[in-house]
Structure 1
Amino acid sequence: MSTKLSLQTLSALGDKVAVPKYDRADLKAGIVHFGIGNFHRAHQAVYLHELFDQGRDLDFAIVGAGVLPSDEAMKSRLAAQDYLCTVVEQDRNRNSAAVTGVLVDFLSPDDPATTIAKLADPAIRIVSLTITEGGYFINPATGVFDPAHPAMAEDGKNPNAPKTVFGIIVAGIKARKEAGTQAFTVMSCDNIPGNGEVTRAAVCGLAKLSDPALAEWIEANVAFPNAMVDRITPATNPGQIEFLRSEFGVEDAAPVFCEGFRQWVVEDHFPAGRPAFEAVGAQFVPDVAPYEHMKIRILNGGHAAIAYPAALMDIELVHEAMEEPIIDRFLEKLELGEIVPIVPPVPETNLNDYFGIIRSRFANPKVRDTIPRLALDGSNRQPKFILPSTRDRLAQGLDVVGLALVSALWCRYLEGTSDSGKPIEIMDANRERLHAAALAARDNPLEFLKLDDIFGDVAQSELFQRRFTTALNSLHEKGARATLEAYLADTLG
C-alpha cells in the first residue's frame, strides 16, 4: 500500500516518513533559486526545511526558476505533487525519509519575463544558483569570465530578452535599481573555487556588455558571498523510486537520495537579510577559501581521481570502486602523498582526518553513486579539481607522478573504450574535441596537452609532460590495473 505524495495526503504517510511541521500556507517567498536539481533539494532546501520546522524565517520560502528545457520536466513532476519532495538519507546502517515543502512555486523556462518580474519583487532577498561547474561562462584554464562566449554575447546584445541565468539576473537587478528597491544577494551553491567571485564576474561582466553604468552599480550594491557546499547526491534512478514506494509507502515522482553527511560554509554577507541557517548546522565564516580548497581538492579531486580508472576497469558504482583494493590504495597514496600536503590549513580541521571521512563516504554502499556521474564534464572539472593541485606542486618544485597519472587516465578514458573494449559514453560539452585529442595522443601523448584552455601553463612544465607521457604510454601498453600497480610500487616514471 502506497500513497501518492501531495499536500492532501501528508497525514496519510504514516510514522515512517517525517512530514513538515509547518503549514505551507504560512510560507512566503524570499528566495529565487535557479537549478532545482537533486543537489539543491538535498542541501539548501533541507537546511531551510529544518529551519521552517523550528518555526523560523517562514518568509524565505523558495521559488524555483527554470532556464533550460529540462527544467520544465522537473517543474511538471514537482507541480503534480504540490512541489513537495521526499529526501531519503542513506548511510550503511540507516535509511530515513522526510518530505520537504520549502518550494512554493516554479517559474517556467519559456517565460523569462515572469522570472524577471519575480526577481524585481522586494520580498525576494536572495537569488541562489546550482547550475553546475560549467554554467558560469569562464575560461577553464584561467578561471576568468569569457564575455565572448556566444551565449553571453547574445544576451549582451539583447539585454531585454535574456536567455541565460545571468542575463535574467542582470535584468532583475536593473528592474530593482530603476524601482529604487534594495538589491538582492546572489549566492552560488556550486562547486567552484571562489564561487561568489566567479558569479560576480559573470553578472558584472555581462552587464558591462550592454550597460557599464549598471555594472558599476552591481559592483557597489550586490553581494556575492562565497560558499562551500557538500553532500553526495547522485541522480535518482527508477529502482530508488520503487524503493521509496515499497519501503516507505510514498509515491514520489522526483525523490532525492543522498548520504547523511552534509556541510555548508558561507561568508556572512547578506545585506538584504538571510535565514538563520546557522541554527540548523551551517557555518558562517569571514573567509570560505580554506574550506573550499579543502573540499574541492580532497573530495572533488578524489572523485575525479577514481572515476577514470574505475571506468576503464568496467566498474559502474563508486562504492564498488572503493571495494577494489587497487583503486582504494591509489586514492589513498595520491591524496596523502600529493594533494593533502599542499592544501592550506583549515581552522580546527585535521586534513588527514578529513580525508578519512571522505574515503568512508565514497565507500557508502547505500548511496549507489555512479562512476559515469563522477566522470562527466571533465573539461570543466579537471581544471577546477585536479590541475590546481598539479600547478601548486609544480610551483613548489614537487613531483606530480600521481596527479599526472590522473590526467593521463582522463585522456585514456576519452578514447571511448574501456580496457576490455567496452564502449564508454563520454558526457562532456566538448566531447568531440576531447575525443579527437585523446586519439591523437596515442601516437604522441603531448598532443593532448595542446588543449590550452584546459591545461594552461601546466602543459608547459617539462616535468608534467614527462610524467604524463610515461603514464599514458603505460595505460596504452599495460592497461589501467597494471599502471596503478606500478604507481603503488613506485615504478611508474
Structure 2
Amino acid sequence: MGVSLTQKSLATVRHEVGVPAYDRRGLRPGILHIGLGNFHRSHMATYLDRLFEQGEAHDWAIIGSGVMPADVRMRRRLRQQDWLSTVVDLEPGAISARVVGAMIDFVPVVSAAIVEALTDPRVRIVSLTITEGGYFLDASIGRFDSHHPWIRADAADPARPRTVFGMMVKALAERRAKGQPPFTVLSCDNLPGNGDVTRRSVVGLAELIDRDLAEWIQQEVTFPNSMVDCITPSTTAHERELVSRRFGIEDAAPVVCEPFRQWVIEDRFCAGRPALEKVGVEFVDDVSAYETMKLRILNAGHASIAYVAALLGYRHVHRAMADADIRDWLLALQKREIMPALEKIEGVAYPAYLAWIVERFGNAEIGDTVSRLCANGSTRQPKFILPAIRDALGHGVSVEGLALELALWCRYCRVAGEVSRGPALSDPLSARLKVGARESVRDPQAFLKIREVFNDLAESQKLRGAFVRWLDIIDDQGVRVAIRRYVAEAERPG
C-alpha cells in the first residue's frame, strides 16, 4: 500500500518522484480551466508547474471547472488529494513521475458557481479542453450551430445558462457592466483554428442575446489559436496500479503520457499571460503553419500507418512501427508527397520533426492501439489525408502514395472484422463505407464516389487513376507488396 496523495503526505513521497518545491499556499488564481481531464493535466498544468518551480507567475494558478458528469467525478477525486495529480512520463526505459501542484481549486459543477468564478477579476485566462463536440459546430458547414437546442435555450434564458459558452457570455456581460476588463479565451482542443472556432461560438451565442455585447466581445476579448501536442492515454485501473506499485503513491486520478510536449500559441492576450516561454512554450504571430505541420506529419502519419498495420495483423502501434516495411512506407510518403507541399517555418526542420514523430510512434510504453487509429475514418480522413491530397495536387506533387493510403482504407473497410480476428469497422458511416468498399471489387471507383467523405476529389483523374491502380495491386498481390512497390518507386531517381 502506497502513500495516499495529499499536500501533507508530499514529504513522505519517494525521493525519485518530483514534488512541488514552491509554496502552494502562496499561489493565487489566474486561469479558470473548463474540462479538466487527463490532457490538461499532462499539458497546461505541467507547463505551469514547471514555471512555478522557477519562482515565476505564482498569480497564475489554475482553478478547475466543467459542466459534464465526468467533471463531477474528477472534482470529487482531486478534492480528496488537495487538487494534486501524479503525472507519469512514459519514456522508454526511463519512466519518471512528478506530482503536479499547479491547480488550487475546482469550482462546484453548478452553473451559478462557474459564472461567479468567471467574473472574478483575478481570472484573466479562461482555457478549454471540451473536445470538438463541445463547440456546437454544424458539421455540414463547419460553423457555429446557432440552431442547436442547447444554444437556443441559452439564448432564450441567458440568466440561467447551461452551456460553457452561455456561462462565458453571462460572465463577460457582468464584467462589462462592472467596468472590469475581459479575459482571454484559450482553447487547448486539438482542432484547426481552435481560437477562431471558440470566438465564433462565443460571439455567435452573444449575438442571439445582445448585439451590443457581442460587438464588445468581438473587439475586447482575444481568442488566440494554439497547437497542442502530447499523447495522453485514458486512466484505467492499470495506470493507477502502475503509480502505486512503481512509485508508492495512491492517486485516484493519475495521468500517464509520453515525455514529448509541444505548445505553440498566438501571442494575443487581452489581460496578460504567464511567461510560459521560459518553460518551452512557443509564442508566435500566426499558428496556422504549425497546425498544418502537425496535421500533415503527425495526424496524417497516424492515418497512413493505421490501415496497413491492421491489414497486416498488428494490434499495437509500436509493434507496427518495428516492421521495416511499415516504417519505410511512412517515411517515403511523408518525404515524397506531404512535406514538399508544406509552407516553410523559420527555425523548423521538417525532417527532424518527422524523426521525432517516428520515435514517438514507436514508444512501447504508451501502448497505443491500431484499432484506435482505424476508428472513425470518415471523420479523420477528411481532416488529415484529404487536405494533404488537395495540397499535393495544388503544388503539382505526386499523389501516388496518398492514393495508396485511400486504397488501403478501402480494403480495410471491406474486410474489417475478418482480418486476424481484428475489431469490426468502427465508424459513423460504417454501412456506407462497407458498401462502397465491396462495390469497388466490381467498380474500383465506387469507394471514391462516397460524396459525404470525398466531395469533389473523386473528379481528379490523377487521384482516381492512382487509386484504381493501387487497389488492383492490393487485391491481386497483397498489402505488403503494394507498400514495398511504392517505397521502391519513391526511391527511384527522377
Normalising by structure 2, we get a TM-score of 0.89
Equivalenced residues, count = 487
Deviation digits for residues 58-99 of structure 1 (CA, Å, limit 9, x no counterpart): 221112222222222322322222221111112223221100
Any runs of at least 4 consecutive aligned residues in structure 1 with deviations exceeding 6 A, and if so which? none
Is residue 63 of structure 2 the alignment partner of residue 63 of structure 1? yes
Which of 70-79 and 148-157 deviates more? 148-157
Deviation digits for residues 382-407 of structure 1 (CA, Å, limit 9, x no counterpart): 33322221111122343322223334
Q: 1:214 to 1:96 in 2, by over 3 A?
A: same
CA contact 2:20–2:100 (8 Å) conserved in 1: yes
SS of the residue corresponding to residue 419 of structure 2 reads coil
* Aligned position for 2:395: 396
The one-letter code sitting in structure 1 at the alignment partner of 2:437 is A
The one-letter code sitting in structure 1 at the alignment partner of 2:102 is V
RMSD: 2.7
Shift, 1:103, TM fit: 1.8
Is residue 178 of structure 2 the alignment partner of residue 179 of structure 1? yes
CA contact 1:142–1:456 (8 Å) conserved in 2: no
The one-letter code sitting in structure 2 at the alignment partner of 1:298 is I
Q: 1:466 to 1:68 in 2, by over 3 A?
A: farther
Shift, 1:300, TM fit: 1.7
Q: 1:405 to 1:63 in 2, by over 3 A?
A: farther
* Aligned position for 1:76: 76
SS of the residue corresponding to residue 227 of structure 2 reads strand
SS of the residue corresponding to residue 429 of structure 2 reads helix
Structure 2 matches for 1:7-406, cutoff 5 A?
7-109=7-109, 111-139=110-138, 143-406=142-405
Where structure 2 has 5 or more consecutive residues not aligned to the other structure, the ranges are none
Q: 1:146 to 1:304 in 2, by over 3 A?
A: farther
Where structure 1 has 5 or more consecutive residues not aligned to the other structure, the ranges are none
Shift, 1:20, TM fit: 0.8
* Aligned position for 1:439: 435
CA contact 1:140–1:453 (8 Å) conserved in 2: no
Q: 1:411 to 1:295 in 2, by over 3 A?
A: same
CA contact 2:310–2:422 (8 Å) conserved in 1: no
Shift, 1:125, TM fit: 0.6
Shift, 1:455, TM fit: 3.3
Shift, 1:368, TM fit: 2.2
CA contact 2:414–2:437 (8 Å) conserved in 1: no
Deviation digits for residues 444-491 of structure 1 (CA, Å, limit 9, x no counterpart): 465554555543443443333444455456556666445434433549
Shift, 1:224, TM fit: 0.8
SS of the residue corresponding to residue 341 of structure 1 reads helix
Deviation digits for residues 334-368 of structure 1 (CA, Å, limit 9, x no counterpart): 11111111111011121112111211121122222
Bigger radius of gyration among the two: 2
Shift, 1:49, TM fit: 0.5
- Cα distance in 2 for partners of 1:168, 1:225 equals 19
Normalising by structure 1, we get a TM-score of 0.90
Which of 451-460 and 18-27 deviates more? 451-460
The one-letter code sitting in structure 2 at the alignment partner of 1:86 is T
CA contact 1:312–1:418 (8 Å) conserved in 2: no
Q: 1:452 to 1:123 in 2, by over 3 A?
A: farther
SS of the residue corresponding to residue 421 of structure 2 reads coil
- Cα distance in 1 for partners of 2:176, 2:447 equals 47
Deviation digits for residues 305-343 of structure 1 (CA, Å, limit 9, x no counterpart): 222322333423221120122221121111111111111
Percent of residue pairs identical: 46
